[in-house]
Amino acid sequence: MIRSTKAIWTSIAAAAGILWSFSASASALHAFCFSPTPACADNGTVTPTTASSPNFGFWYASGPATGDFLVDILVPNNYTLPSGFTVTGGANGTMNASEVGSGWTSGALDSYLGISASPNNPIGAWLPVTQHDDPAATGYYVFQADLGTNTLAGAAGSGPDLNVGTLDLGSVVVGFLGVQSCKKDNCTTDWIATANSAALYEGTGTVPEPATLALFATGLAGLGFALRRRAHKG
């Protein structure tokens, strides 16, 4: 019973992050797809595509803005660990994406990467969606490419046009833009993350809508509460 209860509470913690994906921040990055990849749109949960090797980019809702542009590829951790990815496009040409850490299974992505970014990207914003297409996934391998200084436009369809090769089903691609601000000799980098529902998602085309995922999260929370009461009574 202890192991079962722990597993359920872990699922609840992941599913609770869904609530964060309902409102995409205006000051955030948003994925888009470009030809020959069919257009992909934010459906309130993710920005899905069924193209296995999508052509895509990111735009900044409060842009344009210039800074250090990072692209992260999140691969479900039940697949064989990829050797890496090659990201083509951007102002600095082709860059390699290497694995960061030993696997992301909890918490927020910025903390996992060792930065502080906004908006917050909890694993629960994307993992339930991935599990819809790939139930065996419990987290992600994270690969990151630093594309150097780039300018992201303030509208979809403009900005660096990217490709990362073939993506496994359930993978998520996000961007971060580090904008530097200086006061006298003191400079800091403000990291702008991708809105939860604006992350590029490689799926089957049947991504659950937010209301469905919210019901799933509510059901898990109710089950977890009942088990906790039962444990206390025992």
Q: What is the pLDDT of residues 54-95, one digit of tens each?
A: 999 999 999 899 999 999 999 999 999 999 999 999 888 899
Q: Looking at residues 17-34, what average pLDDT do you find?
A: 68
Determine the pLDDT at residue 1.
42
Listed residue (139, 108, 144, 150) closest to 21, CA to CA: 108
> pLDDT-derived band of residue 210, with 50, 70 and 90 as boundaries?
low
b/e 64-97 (16+ beta carbons within 10 angstroms → b): ebebbbbbbbbbbbebeebeebebbbbeeeebeb
Residue 48 has pLDDT above 60, yes or no: yes
* Type of residue found at 204: T
User: Cβ distance 192 to 25 under 8 Å?
Assistant: no
Is the pTM higher than 0.85? The answer reads no
The phi and psi torsions of 109 (rounded to 5 degrees) equal -65, -40
Q: Could you give the CA distance from residue 234 to residue 214 in angstroms, rounded to a whole number?
A: 30
Determine the pLDDT at residue 224.
47
Residue 199 has pLDDT above 80, yes or no: yes
Who contacts 200 (Cβ-Cβ below 8 Å, separation ≥6)? 31, 33, 40, 46, 47, 49, 54, 56, 172, 173, 174
Residue 13 has pLDDT above 90, yes or no: no
Residue 161 has pLDDT above 50, yes or no: yes
Determine the pLDDT at residue 21.
39
Determine the pLDDT at residue 233.
54
Residue 132 has pLDDT above 80, yes or no: yes
Q: Looking at residues 18-47, what average pLDDT do you find?
A: 81
